[in-house]
Structure 1
Amino acid sequence: MANDPELERNPALYALATTCTDFRDSALDLLWRKQKGLGNLIKCMPADLWQLHKCYVWNNASPYHRAEYDRLSFKRELNSSDWYRWDFYASRVREFRPTTRADARSGGSHMEMSKATYWTLMEHRPHPGILPNVIELDWHWAYSRVKYRFGRVLIAPSLKSLSLAFRNPETVEDAKALVAALPQSCPSLHTLKLQFSDVAVFDELSDIISGVRSLREFDLETNRSLPAELFRQLSSLPELTSLVLMVWTPDHLAFRPQTCTDASQLPCFDSLRSLIVNSDDLSTPTTVIAAGQLPDLQDLSVASDTGDVMALFQVIHAHCNPMSLQKLRIFRPEYGLKHQTRTEPASTLRQLRRFPNLQDIHIQVPRGIQPSDHDLEDLAAELGQIVNLYLAETLAMSPRSEDEYGNGVSLRALTTLVERCPRLERLTLDIDASTIDAQATQRSGKHITNSNLKSIRLGTASRPGDPGRVLAFLCDLAPKLQNIGFDYSGSSPEDREAWQKVVWRLHCKRVRAGKEREYCYSLPRDTSSDTETDT
């Protein structure tokens, strides 16, 4: 235990473990609960058994500096007495997530073991599993066959969360053997995350689904189309509440074509509450949703570069219960902007009104096409229960073209939105504050304000106005406002400086009110706000 570098970060627990008999076991359980490798356990074995070698790898932060990490190996054969201290501490490990050489390149800590060390541990282990009480396990090794085989000795009946990744065709058989052993080895498995490319393990997945009926969360990332039968088997899991599919196929087909046309014959996910689908094209999540009935789905998130948003909404309305959906997020990564279908936001917002219980909305609109005041006011009238609203353009990581400059909504529309949605807590929107005047800050006390709104984030298309008046307007609209953020990517230096002044003034206001500590703000300071009084 004295060799564990993590102990330096927990001096209080270390003191309890070494000096207080009553708290010794509890302190040791906390100290050993999370491990990032087997090095600490090996270093608790006899000192004449192992040795360390210094190794170097180029640092990602600087090509002229090498990062240092330790490589551990055995000096002799193991015997049964060498495992005594290992067993004493290994039984306390609950979460095991090994680091990789990439962590050393990024400046983190990493200890590597030679292949011979892995083989020695496998051949001389006194028990089938070397971490008998592990609950969460991440085993991500892309190209090492020995590490895949070693993964089988880490599997324990107590395991509830498992994350595996395999991408090398040479490791297919070892990966399949590891996956195939899960139904018998982990009967209480709740969470399973798999990442595989150029590897087909669908038969093994079918065995897992049929053998592990306690699965609640299933996460799958692949570059292959999935068989429709797999989706049907997933629907048979009685406790499945979360499904994550990241399918990156060239033909954008999440499932192989099926002939079922009768909706009543589609698999029904009675227990599913959350569905996340990421792909290159919206046709993939559309296909996934159309492949089954989702009567109690509450959280839906899709991410893609291209595709028809309207077709997606039609499928959602047909296969989901409009009354149960509470969270809807549509992400449109910036790198696919040139392929985006420039759907009018008005059509998208009209579709949102078909789901009356939506509380969390995250929609990224194409650059240069923001919703109008009328569209936003109509949305607020229909969905007054919104708690979190993100309705801004995609982050502009690349230069804008002339037709990609748009205007945000007016302050009048912003006022209507905030007042009609009294539960609103977080808002991200493109606004146009360039026309603000003195009257905009003189709101009568008879006006209804939002006492729940605490965070406003301004999109990249937001236009600034006078910093003092803008802040006064926002603080009057949301008296408990705590944070104003701004996406600086794609904005001009003038707009950036103007919004920075608004952010700085809010910070100064909260410092004077004793609600926030003063700190050295990383943005240019607006010294004029130090002498002004709050409006």
Structure 2
Amino acid sequence: MHPLSFNVEQMHRALFVSEVLLEIFINLNQLPTTEGWTQSLTQRSLAALARTCKTFHEPAMDLLWANMPGLRPLLGCVTRLHSMIYDPETKYSWSQCVDPLAEHEFHEFLRHSARVRSMTISSNTYFRLLTALPIETCVFPGLISLSWMVQRTNIGDLHFFLSPTLLNCSVSEFHSDLTHIGTRCAALEAITLLEDSGTVQLSATVRSCKRLKYLECPPLDSAAWMHLSTVPTLLKVKIVASRIIHFPLDNLNFATFLNLTTLCFRRMEVAAVVTIMQHFEFPSLKEFEMHVRVLPWAEAEQLCRALSQCKANQTLEHICISSRDRIPQHSGDPLTAVRQFLCFTQLRTLRLSTHCFIYLDDDLLLEAMTSWPYIRSLSLDDWHICPPTVTFRGLIAALRLCPYLQYLQVPVDFRNIDIGPEAKLFQNTSLQNLTIASSEPKETDSEAVARIIYSVLPAVEQVMRGNGNVRLWNNVNRHLELLRNKSSSASGHFITGAASQT
């Protein structure tokens, strides 16, 4: 619609209702774009609407400037810079040979900055143009979300973007301007610091934040942990170390994270995590994740024991503990995590991939399914070449107790598939994905295995070959396909077999 051809008197009355008009513009702004900022159809449409009439101007302009990919569009509003910024031949080279903004140009630059709500800064190309701005200038008074992907910037560069309204801040590298960000941005709810920094500076940054809901950062010292335990709004904490950092947490006092629901550690020193779990209680914790490069048996036992004692028995729903590398020399003792986690009665997901032998037999599997009535996914990666102790009969008995189970990965003994006649009358229709680290069935038992899977687990479609005898599992798949072809009620997804040598 061309602005000159628009007749306000013919406009429908609904368009004078600000809520209706804003909803229309928001839907327009959500259309996918494939071109650059200045060329996208959505941005051109909003610009045209802003020029149409006074009724359209404010909501269209608010959306037009709400999400900025950098400073370039704002600098384009400066008369002296406009032709250079939008000249395709100059691109970015011009910024190194022009003077910074003069005082009379500040108004042109700041004219639309109050409308910006979200900004991503990935380059320091234009920072020198702002050097004449007073350091106390609040350039973006309405900024809510900031993604700062710039490295090696000068002190003071980040200050222009630290708005009092800022709620979310993501920084690729720690910046000294962040040291007291909670003081300048009192409403800050989420902060992400991706790179390691000095522990003292990071601790000061975290301790300045009083209303955090989400925190992702490198490892913290004792003072920061104690401060976080006093923040009632805190819901999620994710600690990510780019390298193993050895520093003591020897000044922790026993405290409670009242409302924390998610706790995640990546590449963190296991001893430090165990110390944290031993000194704090988490009565609202729902998710716990621990991912490390190496997790020896002794440390895995300590971690599982500390987790079971953190007062989250009635709330914890998801547990994921994994290690990447195999331990050359490991203890022959089995990991007792399954038994230690029986106290978590609300458990939905349990994944253990620790390169340690995880103890599980028919009785313990039955007890686990009794303790976890809401379990939906159970994955116990058994990396060891050991004869499995869970029988097919025990597996079927356990499946009777878990009506919501959709994914299961446990070691099962396929060498003896004899089950009682009562089991043949049972069907589990919820299980869709089954990964079996198992001893291989006998070649003559392929059809029998297929018939049992088909009759007891109708939602399971096929056995994917593991690292055992591929031909044997292919025979099971072939018999499963023949059985499905004879029935019109076949349905389901996949069963993946990670069969191990026996």
TM norm structure 2: 0.71
**What are the within-5 Å matches in structure 2 for residues 8-407 of structure 1?**
11=41, 14-15=44-45, 18=48, 21=52, 33-43=66-76, 46-50=81-85, 71=92, 73-74=94-95, 76-77=98-99, 78-79=101-102, 87=110, 90-99=113-122, 112=123, 114=125, 117-124=126-133, 128-142=137-151, 144-146=152-154, 149-166=156-173, 175-176=175-176, 178-197=177-196, 199-202=198-201, 205-206=203-204, 208-209=206-207, 211-222=208-219, 226-247=220-241, 252-253=246-247, 255-258=248-251, 266-279=254-267, 281-304=269-292, 305-307=294-296, 308=298, 309-333=300-324, 335-338=325-328, 343-345=333-335, 347-366=336-355, 371-393=360-382, 404=385, 407=388
Check the 8 A contact 1:52/1:72 in 2, yes or no. Answer: no
CA, structure 1 residues 179+409, in 2 after alignment: closer, same or farther (shift >3 Å)?
same
CA shift, 1:212, in A, is 3.0
How far, CA to CA, are the matches of 1:243 and 1:476 in structure 2?
45
Cα offset, 1:349, TM superposition: 1.3
Shift in CA distance, 479/137, structure 1 to aligned 2, threshold 3 Å = farther
1:458 equivalent to 2:435? Answer yes
Residue deviations 1:245-300, cap 9 Å, x none? 235775755x4323x7xxxx512222222222233543221011112232332222
Unaligned runs of 5+ in 2: 1-28, 493-502
Q: Which residue of 2 aligns with 1:109?
A: none
153-162 or 360-369, which moves further after superposition? 360-369
What is the identity, as a one-letter code, of the residue corresponding to 1:47? H
* Equivalent residue, structure 2, for 1:521: none
**Aligned AA for 1:220?**
C
Shift, 1:364, TM fit: 1.4
Alignment RMSD, CA only?
Answer: 4.8
**Alignment match of 2:470 (pick from 446, 470, 494):** 494
- Per-residue displacement from partner, 1:298-335 (whole Å, max 9, x unpaired)? 222222322432222332233324223222221222x2
1:533 match: none
Report the CA distance between 1:505 and its aligned residue.
6.4
Q: CA deviation at 1:383?
A: 1.8
Q: 1:54 to 1:94 in 2, by over 3 A?
A: same
Does structure 2 conserve the Cα–Cα contact (< 8 Å) formed by 1:441 and 1:472?
Answer: no
Asked if the contact 1:463/1:495 (under 8 Å) is kept, the reply is no
Residues 412 and 275 (structure 1), Cα distance of their counterparts in 2 relative to 1, 3 Å cut: same
Decide whether aligned partners of structure 1 residues 79 and 248 sit closer, same or farther in structure 2, where only a CA change above 3 A counts.
closer
Instruction: Tell whether the 8 Å contact from 1:221 to 1:246 is kept in structure 2 after alignment.
Output: yes
- Local SS of the residue matching 1:244: strand
Deviations 1:507-534 (A, max 9, x none): x99xx98999xxxxxxxxxxxxxxxxxx
Question: Deviation string for 1:173-222 (max 9, x for gaps)?
Answer: xx23x1234123211101122244352334x634652x432111222214
Q: Following the alignment from structure 1 to structure 2, what is the Cα–Cα distance between the partners of residues 48 and 8?
A: 14
1:190–1:217: 8 Å Cα contact kept in structure 2? yes
Distance in 2 of aligned mates of 1:137 and 1:299: 27
Classify 1:354/1:128 alpha carbon distance in 2 versus 1 (closer, same or farther; 3 Å): same
Q: Which amino acid aligns with 2:229?
A: S
273 and 91 in structure 1: CA distance in 2 versus 1, 3 angstrom threshold: same
Deviations 1:394-446, CA, capped at 9 Å, x for gaps: 6xxxxxxxx64665955434433332111223334455667769x999975x4
Q: What's the CA shift for 1:362?
A: 1.6
Structure with max Cα Rg: 2
The 8 Å contact of residues 190 and 212 in structure 2, kept in 1 or not, is answered as yes
Greater Cα offset, 354-363 or 313-322? 313-322
* 1:251 to 1:244, Cα distance in 2 relative to 1, 3 A: closer
What secondary structure does 2:381 align onto?
A: strand
The verdict on how the C-alpha distance between 1:96 and 1:19 changes in structure 2, with shifts beyond 3 A counting, is closer
Say if 1:257 and 1:159 are closer, same or farther in 2 by CA, change over 3 A: same
| Structure-1 residue corresponding to 2:407 | 426
Q: Is contact 2:344-2:371 (8 Å) kept?
A: no
1:418–1:477 Cα contact (<8 Å) kept: no
Q: Which amino acid aligns with 2:183?
A: Q
Report SS of the residue matched to 2:403.
coil
- Per-residue deviation at 1:388? 2.5
Matched to 1:161, the amino acid is: N
Q: Contact 2:85–2:92 at 8 Å: present in 1 too?
A: no
Paired residue secondary structure (1:214) = coil
Give the aligned partner of residue 3 of structure 2. Answer: none
**Residue of structure 2 equivalent to 1:532:** none
CA contact (8 A) 2:320 2:352 kept: yes
State the Cα deviation string for residues 7-26 of structure 1 (Å, max 9, x = none).
69964675465368577766
Contact 1:392 1:429 in 2 (8 A): yes
Q: Against the structure 1 CA distance between its residues 344 and 12, is the aligned structure 2 distance closer, same or farther, given a 3 Å change threshold?
A: same
Q: TM-score, normalised by structure 1?
A: 0.67
Work out the number of aligned pairs and report it.
Answer: 449
Cα 1:136–1:325, aligned 2, differ >3 Å: closer, same or farther?
A: same
Amino acid paired to 2:367: D
1:83, CA displacement in angstroms?
6.3
Residues of 2 paired with 1:82 and 1:472: CA distance? 80
Q: 1:129 to 1:390 in 2, by over 3 A?
A: farther
Residues 75 and 82 of structure 2 are in contact (CA less than 8 Å); yes or no, is this contact kept in structure 1?
no
Q: Aligned equivalents of 1:316 and 1:270: distance in 2?
A: 16
1:43-77 Cα distance to aligned partner (Å, 9 max, x none) = 5655324377999xxxxxxxxxxxxxx74542533
